A and B are shown apart, each in its own frame.
Chain A
Amino acid sequence: MTESPLTSPEAFSPPSTPLLALRQVSCERDERQLFTQLNLRAYPGDVIQIVGPNGSGKTTLLRALAGINKDYTGDVLWAGRPVTDVAWEYSHNLLYIGHLPGVKKALSPLENLRWYAAISGHQTRATLYSALEAVGLYGYEDTPCYQLSAGQLRRVALARLYLSQARLWILDEPFTAIDKRGAAQLETLFAHHAEQGGVILLTSHQDLALPSLKHLNLLDYQPASIVDNLEPDHG
């Protein structure tokens, strides 16, 4: 902890240790097994799309990985060490955007983003204005968010991607309400993040055209009894 884990090149772990690893992770909700024995290794540069039908536990998995939901068994390792042991380092390297955008409608995009910049403790690599410009909200900086459309609200939340220096991005349905051009822009940003040695875990029902894309199908980790009851997803 003597140096910032975000900027020092030494912090980039050798490719042999995955940046994020899940070992035998199981999760149940309301006494229903969502997935069991889930194993995953994410190396720097990986973009992992988690797929599965509605209700298969995609959001639950992401919330567990973000540390919001602690109701799971198994190990989550960050650079080879349990996340609970390196909580400070992990939280500095994590950017989570859930399916709720977390945007206050009474505040302007700029005011929303300013609070996020302070609370996430990330060193900013761009100014708030340029981040808002990057997501196409130029000219809307001081408009109250209740006057913005659903897509624009989502863009306010996504502007944090341009501010953050976190290496692990956990994104729950980032493309919701985003138009085609915006989605293409996001994909470019994802590719750029992966090139920089970052890891992205995301859920989406959209087909992505990223070179480093991997899929994790939650149906593969469901107890047999549930698989029988569900139509297999083609995604």
Chain B
Amino acid sequence: MVDAAVSSGSATFAVFWATLRRDLLLAVRHRAEMVNPLVFFLIAITLIPLGVSPESKTLAAIAPGLIWVMALLATLLSLDGLFRSDFEDGSLEQMLISPQPLYFTVLAKVMVHWLVTGLPLTLMSPLLGVMLALPSGGYGPLCVTLLLGTASMSLIGAVGAALTVALRKGGLLLSLIVMPLYVPVLIFGASAVHNAVLSSPINSQLAVLGAFLALAVVLAPLAAAGALRVSSDG
């Protein structure tokens, strides 16, 4: 029994790694699609000083919120394809009937999604902070909150993507499902950066963002796995 448990544990781990590796390879081979949300993020932020006002005082006041909103939209933009190609080419069916738990397959896929969208968005954010004249106290908190927040958003978004994967045109529905769940993340993330700029404590916001992420890691892949089963049924 112990042996069976150990071997099934290592097989589960093998599935996680194999899926992680496959999806990373796919992301690298589809570079152009992968860069799409990042380019959107960059362009949107670049246009703000041109459209709103180039004055650093005005920009500094709205910078934390703007960067957060754009990061959210960029994540949203990239969600649709999360399970789409697996659904269309039949590999999703194989994931569903695999003896290994679907939880880890989904977790691996979401992790790759975060590695190719959330993480680069976070790494780009200090540069965009400079463009929006973000005060110096805001950079550290901006990176930390985006790191936590984008991971939560990838996980939550996976549920929406799984629910809409079988629909021909699920894009709008996906946004409607996911957006309300993104709002709390946005509020706490942006307010943490705002407080940091004003030199106020940000511990509570960080704690809430961390709690969101912890909950999302545990629950979102389960919900997404359930949703994938429903979507493939019939």
> Taking beta carbons and an 8 Å cutoff, which residues of A are in contact with B?
1-4, 29, 63, 66-71, 88, 91-92, 94, 96, 98-107, 111, 114-121, 144
Q: In the complex, are the beta carbons of B233 and A98 less than 8 A apart?
A: no
**B14, B26, B97: which contacts A104 (Cβ < 8 A)?**
B26
Q: In the complex, are the beta carbons of A102 and B232 less than 8 A apart?
A: no
Q: In the complex, are the beta carbons of B100 and A106 less than 8 A apart?
A: no
Interface positions, chain B 4-50, Cβ under 8 Å from A, are 4, 11, 14-15, 17-19, 21-22, 25-26, 29-30
Given contacts A107-B26, A119-B15, contact A66 B93 (CB under 8 A): yes
**A69, A100, A111, A115: which contacts B90 (Cβ < 8 A)?**
A100
Given contacts A107-B29, A118-B17, contact A92 B93 (CB under 8 A): no
Q: In the complex, are the beta carbons of A118 and B93 less than 8 A apart?
A: no
Residues of B within 8 A of A119 (CB): 15, 18-19, 94-95, 98, 100, 105
> Taking beta carbons and an 8 Å cutoff, which residues of B are in contact with A?
1, 4, 11, 14-15, 17-19, 21-22, 25-26, 29-30, 85, 88-91, 93-100, 105, 232-234
Given contacts A96-B93, A96-B94, A103-B91, 13 further A-B contacts (CB under 8 A): A2-B1, A66-B93, A68-B93, A69-B233, A91-B99, A98-B90, A100-B90, A104-B89, A106-B25, A107-B22, A118-B11, A121-B15, A121-B100
Residues of B within 8 A of A91 (CB): 97-99
Q: In the complex, are the beta carbons of A2 and B4 less than 8 A apart?
A: yes
**A66, A70, A94, A102: which contacts B89 (Cβ < 8 A)?**
A102
User: How far, in Å, is B46 (CB) from chain A's closest CB?
Assistant: 31
**In the complex, what residue of chain B is closest to A118 when comparing beta carbons?**
B18
Q: In the complex, are the beta carbons of B99 and A88 less than 8 A apart?
A: yes
Residues of A within 8 A of B93 (CB): 63, 66, 68, 96, 98, 100, 102
Q: In the complex, are the beta carbons of A68 and B100 less than 8 A apart?
A: no
The contact sample of 16 A-B pairs, CB cut-off 8 A, is: A4-B4, A29-B234, A68-B232, A96-B93, A96-B94, A98-B90, A103-B91, A105-B89, A106-B25, A106-B29, A115-B19, A118-B14, A119-B19, A119-B105, A121-B15, A121-B98
Q: In the complex, are the beta carbons of B97 and A107 less than 8 A apart?
A: no
**In the complex, what residue of chain A is closest to B18 when comparing beta carbons?**
A118
Given contacts A68-B233, A69-B234, A119-B18, contact A96 B97 (CB under 8 A): yes
**In the complex, what residue of chain A is closest to B100 when comparing beta carbons?**
A121
| Bound-state Cα–Cα, A100 to B11, Å | 25
Residues of A within 8 A of B22 (CB): 104, 107, 111, 114-115
